[in-house]
Structure 1
Amino acid sequence: MKIEFAPINIPLRRRIQTVAVLQWLFTFLFFAQCCLAIFVFLTFAGYWYIAVVYTAWLYIDWETPNQGGRRSEWVRNWTIWSYFRDYFPIHLKKTTDLDPQYNYLFGFHPHGVLVAGAFGNFGSDATGFRKLFPGLTSYLCILPFWFKIPFYRDYIMCAGLVSAVKSSASYILSRKGGGNVAVLVIGGAEESLDARPGGLTLRTRKRKGFIKLAIKCGAHLVPVFSFGENELFNQQNNPKGSILRAMQERLQKIMGFAMPLFYARGVFQYSFGLLPYRKPIYTIVGKPIVVQQNHTPSNQEIEALHIMYIDALNTLFEEHKAQYGISERDHLLFS
């Protein structure tokens, strides 16, 4: 394989952008293990009293990720997130204003490999969410597993990340006065196994829990499609029925998250590595679907709203796909 090396005279700002994405990758892939190792070290290396104090704090603070988290506007506005945004770059666009007197459930699609667009837009303020949607506060919901890891949980909560369990999203969407947005990546870990350039398969047909949640809380549903999310990484071929796919699905059931075998470019060369490609991401926030609150929705009501949501998501995609480089003959595949 011929290796394509990066030129030496790259502008400093682009090098800083690469560093910003590297630290994001490290946080996503390795920082949790480092935090756990630090906790174990403190426990067995003579600093047990620090571990004991933190464990006590963890016991007291255990439910915080399920109760709105503990966001830090200072962390969310770090300059490094602006460089992270500009690496791709990431763009957040709206199709209509959203009234802050209501709460909203954003359904984010597609998952992609590492949900870079979801984090860039809703895990920081780098793309100007608050300016686009004044009066609204976004909470990105992620796997509850990450909030069980010492120290790591405290860091990610600063970015406005909260647990994706039902009670957590319900807490946000049931707040009086409105102005709250729970962002759920609907396809989840399963969808990441289909994330590759040109991939348009969404795991949505059997996912109706978020619909029931929206009805119970009376939160308006908003479809969100992130063009370019699947273009950031290549993935090892893993068709349904293959040994690799069977292993990945088995691990997903055991651990709760998927392990796609992805690759893209490196730091000093463009031929292989874990850095995402510099591909633009355009995250389009659709029009809200008004939801009437009902604490005991029927299956028919859930099914009807689910169909309405799928239609709205498909319409959002079809209306914008040509503008963002997708052929007119390509369509979303719902599974």
Structure 2
Amino acid sequence: MGRKIAGVELAPLNMPLHRRIQTLCAFTTSYLFFFGGLTSILFLLFLLHTKYYWITLLYVTWFWFDRDTSSRGGRPSQWLRNSAAYRYLRDYFPISLVKTADLDPKENYLIGYHPHGIMGFGTSNFVTEATGFSKEFPGIKSYVLTLKLLHYLPFYREYISAIGYCDVSKDSIDYILRTKGNAVVILIGGAKESLDANPSTSSIVLKNRKGFVKMALKNGAHLVPSYTFGENELFRQAFDNKPGSRLRRFQRFFQSRVGYAPICVTGRGFFQYSFGIVPHRVPLITVVGKPIHLTKTPSPSQEDIDKLHDRYMVALKDLFDEHKTKYGYGEQTIEFIE
């Protein structure tokens, strides 16, 4: 622990270099998520007023012809997925992947990721090789699906596409699941759930989220629940946004119109622990549950969807309850909300 100055807890000056690099990787990831898109837009606008305006024009042209890539499997780069930067990011928390059952590469899977948290740091288990996903699940190729909006942000879209993020549209899901051995990972709670991402809570937006079940049935993709312990501990909401408050009403209104929930959070800084956009060092343990096997149903009835959805909710709760004490969350109870 470092000393405090004016209420700010400073990081020790003699911090080992590898710890500094880990923090830098965590900071960079957070910065890209919160400000990467805005920075890129401002940069392109700035270039328009210089002799390098042609770079902006070339990029806009490229974007137009490449606009459907996020719905066509992205452009994953094995070099980037194996980058040392993600091993440093893994060790910062640290992040770990826990397998409870094998996944047959002759089948397809839809993995539900819970909770969303602020930015889903634990999804690095599925889009990088830092925790050995391909060794734990040989023959399975995973894709994490995110808001289409993120794939409209210049340059940032190139980065997330290269590590395996695609947009969470029906076309995207259908495209990926047409090939055996593929798994789509969906942060089912989405932006709405991020509003309830607070330490010591396990609020899961799932009661009325059934679209993923329908897509699983239509594509014959077995459902797999997963839970990342520690995801909600990385940041705290900077302002009180409890349900019913003015701030929450504004956030919900904005999210319903744009698809993205505006949130203000605080973590720690690079050289101090009291505030900032760097996530806190909290172990992230992603536990991947057993697959719920199903039969491909091109036109599932509402009854089919409801029954499978109920099975999924039970499986997720059982997964949480089975592992929560082991990872230090024995006092918490998972809560399904609308």
- Show the counterpart of 2:97: 92
Superposition deviation, residue 124 in structure 1: 1.6
Q: Which moved more, 1:259-268 or 1:195-204?
A: 259-268
Aligned pair 1:141/2:132, yes or no? no
Find the aligned partners of 2:156 and 2:117 in 1 and give their Cα distance: 23
- Spell out, residue by residue over 1:212-240, the C-alpha distance to the aligned partner (whole angstroms, 9 max, x if none): 00000000100000011111111132111
Superposed counterparts of 1:1-335, under 5 Å: 2-118=7-123, 120-175=124-179, 178-235=180-237, 236-327=239-330, 330-335=332-337
Superposition deviation, residue 259 in structure 1: 2.0
Superposition deviation, residue 59 in structure 1: 2.2
Find the aligned partners of 1:59 and 1:17 in 2 and give their Cα distance: 36
Find the aligned partners of 1:49 and 1:271 in 2 and give their Cα distance: 43
Find the aligned partners of 2:54 and 2:236 in 1 and give their Cα distance: 45
Superposition deviation, residue 155 in structure 1: 1.8
Counterpart AA for 2:225 = P
- Spell out, residue by residue over 1:99-123, the C-alpha distance to the aligned partner (whole angstroms, 9 max, x if none): 00111100000001111111x2123
- Spell out, residue by residue over 1:175-205, the C-alpha distance to the aligned partner (whole angstroms, 9 max, x if none): 2xx1101000010000000011111110001
- Spell out, residue by residue over 1:38-65, the C-alpha distance to the aligned partner (whole angstroms, 9 max, x if none): 3223334233433333333222211111
Superposition deviation, residue 163 in structure 1: 0.5
Superposition deviation, residue 326 in structure 1: 1.4
Find the aligned partners of 1:149 and 1:231 in 2 and give their Cα distance: 27
SS in 2 for 1:322: coil
Change (3 A) 1:149 1:2: closer
Contact 2:27 2:277 in 1 (8 A): no
- Show the counterpart of 2:3: none
Contact 2:145 2:166 in 1 (8 A): yes
SS in 2 for 1:283: strand
Superposition deviation, residue 125 in structure 1: 1.4
Q: Which moved more, 1:271-280 or 1:56-65?
A: 56-65
Instruction: For structure 1, list consecutive stretches of 5 or more residues without a partner in the other structure.
Output: none
Contact 2:31 2:277 in 1 (8 A): no
Contact 2:192 2:261 in 1 (8 A): yes
Superposition deviation, residue 169 in structure 1: 1.3
Q: Which runs of 4+ in 1 moved over 4 A?
A: none
- Spell out, residue by residue over 1:14-39, the C-alpha distance to the aligned partner (whole angstroms, 9 max, x if none): 01100111110111111111221232
Contact 2:200 2:332 in 1 (8 A): no
Find the aligned partners of 1:246 and 1:322 in 2 and give their Cα distance: 35
Change (3 A) 1:49 1:264: closer
SS in 2 for 1:184: strand
Find the aligned partners of 1:152 and 1:125 in 2 and give their Cα distance: 20
**TM-score of the two chains, using structure 1 as the length reference:** 0.95
Counterpart AA for 1:263 = T
Contact 2:191 2:260 in 1 (8 A): yes
Find the aligned partners of 2:167 and 2:36 in 1 and give their Cα distance: 18
**TM-score of the two chains, using structure 2 as the length reference:** 0.95
